[in-house]
A = this chain, B = another copy of it.
Amino acid sequence: MICKIEKQSGVAFTLKKGQQLKVIDPIGGQVSDMVLFNASDTREKISSGKTLDFEETILITTNHYLWSNRSNKMMRILEDTNGRNDFLLAPCSPETFKIMYNYGGYHPSCFENLYTNLKQFDIQPDDVPTAFNIFMNVQFAADGKLSVLPPLSKAGDFVLFEAEMDLIVALTACSAEDSNGGRFKPIHYEILE
């Protein structure tokens, strides 16, 4: 069954070891931020630093693992039809829009959509780590300069993950203009046995 995440919103759910999660960009050009927690002890969570270290690359895609802060494998990427994801940048937050874009007033954000959906699992805003940003197109220059460009994903592109432990997963349809080509779109996902 394909589930829908409305534009600029999020979900959280459990995923059992061995189950697969397919995250789909139904329209194209839309980012989905994902964070993971060990379902039996939420102090264990996805870690960008551990993943980049063990996988020895910035660009995480097919056959790579997503690792935890305790150096355990949380997920394996079985398939990635787009091939560009980001694991450098924190989820967009109210401060992102204020500090980087001088935006006044309320703006939906992945950070809010992650922590509000994770509340049911007793996970607090301070516990939200750097997300694995599916379909996010962050380019890096030789001098280290980072540029956020529109996603390269086309309608129907997906990333298929397999859980390596029992997990709590939170997923968004990203809320930042610059990350999504200026237009907010839904994200679809499917849990496969």
The chain A residues found within 8 Å of chain B, CB to CB, are 43-44, 47-50, 52-54, 56-59, 69-71, 88-91, 93, 95-96, 99-100, 124, 126, 128-131, 140, 142-147
Contact = CB atoms under 8 A, between A and B. Distances in A.
A100 B50 CA distance: 11
A49 B95 CA distance: 13
B90 A50 contact: yes
B57 A144 contact: yes
Contacts of A142: 142
Nearest to A131: B49
Contacts of A129: 49
28 contacts: A43-B124, A44-B126, A47-B90, A48-B88, A48-B130, A49-B88, A49-B91, A49-B129, A49-B130, A49-B131, A50-B90, A52-B88, A52-B89, A53-B96, A54-B99, A56-B145, A56-B147, A57-B144, A57-B145, A58-B88, A58-B146, A59-B143, A70-B126, A71-B95, A71-B99, A88-B88, A140-B140, A142-B142
A48 B53 CA distance: 14
Nearest to A140: B58
A188 B108 CA distance: 45
B69 A126 contact: yes
Contacts of A43: 124, 126
Nearest to A127: B43
A140 B59 CA distance: 10
Given A48-B48, A58-B146, A146-B58, A53 B89 contact: yes
